[in-house]
């Protein structure tokens, strides 16, 4: 029996619905507003002496904007930018 093999050297997938599939939509509003979840997520960052000196009080952050910014960084990193 002969087996055919296809080697894919480069593959680019474009998501035409990228704006519709956002991280913010993955989180329930209750989860975004939950201070204990947010505090736990931010704890390591604020305990890091090198990072914390550049950070403002995270209670002043717009959490939705923070998630959207994180999503942009994640997507650009995944694209190798």
Q: Where are the domains of the chain?
A: 23-78
Write the CA distances from 78 to 14, 23, 42, 57, 60, integer angstroms: 13, 15, 22, 29, 29
pLDDT tens digit string along 68-81?
A: 888 888 888 888 87
What is the average pLDDT value for the chain, to the nearest integer? 80
pTM confidence score: 0.50
| Tens digits of residue pLDDT in 21-43 | 677 777 777 877 888 887 887 78
Cα 59 to Cα 80: distance, rounded to the nearest angstrom:
32
Q: Are 45 and 53 within 8 A, CB to CB?
A: no
């Amino acid at each position: 029996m002969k087996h055919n093999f296809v080697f894919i050297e480069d593959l680019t997938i474009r998501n035409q619905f990228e704006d519709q599939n956002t991280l913010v939509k993955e989180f329930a509003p209750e989860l975004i507003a939950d201070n204990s979840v947010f505090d736990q997520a931010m704890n390591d960052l604020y305990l890091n002496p090198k990072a914390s000196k550049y950070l403002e009080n995270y209670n002043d952050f717009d959490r939705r904007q923070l998630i959207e910014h994180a999503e942009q960084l994640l997507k650009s990193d995944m694209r190798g930018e």
